[in-house]
Structure 1
Amino acid sequence: MKTVWITALKEDQPRVAAVTAVLKRYGLQCKGHFWSDQPDKLAWRVALEALVEAKADAWLVLVDGDEIKKPSVRYGLSLMAAALRSARGGNFPILTLWNSVPPADAALPPLLAQAELLLESGATWPAKIVAKANVPARAAPAEFRLDILGNERLGQWFEIGPVAGAWSGVVFGVTGADVQINFQAVGPKGALPDKTSLEFAQEGMQIKVGGRDFTAWAVRNEVGADASYFARVKGSPEAILFMPYAEESDAPADIVWLT
């Protein structure tokens, strides 16, 4: 039996019970949680770990029109989506179920932009969830690795690295109010390193991209497909920027928007 993990953004027991009852009639097992809007405590990681442990086959977000507008909720969903794809693959099915018509623009945060939008008032949403749980779409080849590690005690860590080849160093930056990088490391991918040795580490670099100011740190350690760069970040950045280290001031960078 396929399992769907349900995240309800609003604590609406009758709605969750109704959706669960329909999906059970379609032969799906349902597990899930109510969203905890505490990104500073990495509350979303508790749900992620439970989803992975349950060996869920799809992630269904029950969207509330007011909750999805909150930057903190959008930020937490973005981090959970990125970490989920890192844990279960880029083709892991993510769906959203709306109890009202979603707005035309920016209904979901960018990292959930590929999630399927389903209307609860329609008749086809249960069948579409069944289809996604049974036959995930093919994932487009990733250009980089992105994961978010940590907990309330260790803090929030962004992990990045190349899928193939090697980077001759890393530049990593953040933008947003009251956000800062306060530690960086390089080590084997998949877990925070116990110790690290940094080459030509830099802090407090200022980078301007598209009218936005990013504060960046950098190292010149080579980072290959089996290694990662880790940055501990305080606060909830609106976006992160990263790229292989380069001497040129106009080197291309990847920017990932989180809200």
Structure 2
Amino acid sequence: MKKIWISLLSKNEEKAKKMMASLGQYGLAPAGHFWSNNLEKMEWSSARQPLLDPEVAAWLIVANEADFADPDTRFGLSLLSITVQAARGHGFPTIIAFDGKPPAPDTLPTPLRHAQFAPDSAALGAKVVARVNVPFKPQAAEYRLDVYGVPGLGLWLEAGPAAGHNWNGVMFGVSPGDINAHGVAAAGKPPTEKMILNYPMQGLKLQLGEREYTAWAVKNPLDEKTSYYLRALGRPESFVFGEFSEADSAEVFVLKMT
């Protein structure tokens, strides 16, 4: 039986029981949780380990228009989606069972734009089965990005070049919000000791359109086995990052987070 992890954005015990029973009739093994918007306690990360289970074939988000419009909810879902895709592959099967009119694709947070919307109806089980029976092939990634939410230690982000690529330094910015720590270390594990940083830069101001970012940067060379780590403050609506450049224009990656 294929496992499905469900995140219900509204706490409704009766709805949850009916959905579990319905999906079970299609030969699926559903499990899940009720979503919590407590960003300070990093409660979005409670679903990380279940979703990293290799036997979990898809992530099902159950939402309505009001729940999905909440910026805290969108930010938490974006963080969880980033870390799941970092571990399971870009484009990991994600289905949003939506009660109402689905939002326009360009209004979605970037980490959720690969998700498939489906009506929250009796036909949902058939759609989920059809999705999980399609072999998942991760999409090619242009960068590496992961997040670590640890209560008491804050929100740490990990960024670096994709496999087979190298960066001569790195820059990462948040908007709004700030950064108060950074380091370079082996990929896959935030640094626990002070790192030697080449030409560290703090408090850089970047303007992209009407949005201003606060960025930090270093000139340490990075490859697929080395990452840049930083601790972000607040609830940024957008991230910008990429290889460091002193030129007036440079290629960067921009993620909408809410």
- TM superposition score normalised by structure 2: 0.94
Tell me the residue number matched to 1:150: 149
Q: Which amino acid aligns with 1:126?
A: G
Structure 2: tracts of 5 or more residues without a match: none
| Conserved? CA contact 2:62–2:120, under 8 Å | no
Tell me the residue number matched to 1:208: 207
Equivalent-residue separation in structure 2 for 1:212 and 1:34 (angstroms): 33
Stretch deviating more after TM superposition (133-142 or 29-38): 133-142
Shift of the alpha carbon at 1:105?
A: 5.9
User: Identity of counterpart residues, as a percentage?
Assistant: 36
Cα displacement string for residues 132-167 of structure 1 (whole angstroms, at most 9, x for unaligned residues): 223244332100011001311221011111112210
| Conserved? CA contact 1:32–1:51, under 8 Å | no
Return closer, same or farther for 1:215/1:53 CA change in 2, 3 Å cut-off: same
Q: How is 1:136-215 mapped onto 2 (pairs within 5 angstroms)?
A: 136-163=135-162, 164-176=164-176, 179-195=177-193, 196-215=195-214
| Conserved? CA contact 1:92–1:136, under 8 Å | no
Equivalent-residue separation in structure 2 for 1:206 and 1:83 (angstroms): 27
| Conserved? CA contact 2:181–2:231, under 8 Å | yes
| Conserved? CA contact 1:8–1:61, under 8 Å | yes
Shift of the alpha carbon at 1:53?
A: 4.3
Tell me the residue number matched to 1:26: 26
| Conserved? CA contact 1:169–1:218, under 8 Å | yes
Return closer, same or farther for 1:70/1:19 CA change in 2, 3 Å cut-off: same
Does residue 123 of structure 2 align to residue 115 of structure 1? no
- SS of 1:39's partner is coil
Q: CA RMSD in A?
A: 1.6
Equivalent-residue separation in structure 1 for 2:234 and 2:50 (angstroms): 24
Return closer, same or farther for 1:243/1:103 CA change in 2, 3 Å cut-off: closer
Equivalent-residue separation in structure 2 for 1:226 and 1:161 (angstroms): 9
Number of aligned residue pairs: give it: 256
Tell me the residue number matched to 1:232: 231
| Conserved? CA contact 1:91–1:136, under 8 Å | no
Shift of the alpha carbon at 1:186?
A: 0.5
Stretch deviating more after TM superposition (14-23 or 68-77): 14-23
Cα displacement string for residues 4-40 of structure 1 (whole angstroms, at most 9, x for unaligned residues): 0000000011211111111100000011000010122
Does residue 82 of structure 2 align to residue 82 of structure 1? yes
Structure 1: tracts of 5 or more residues without a match: none
Equivalent-residue separation in structure 2 for 1:104 and 1:184 (angstroms): 35
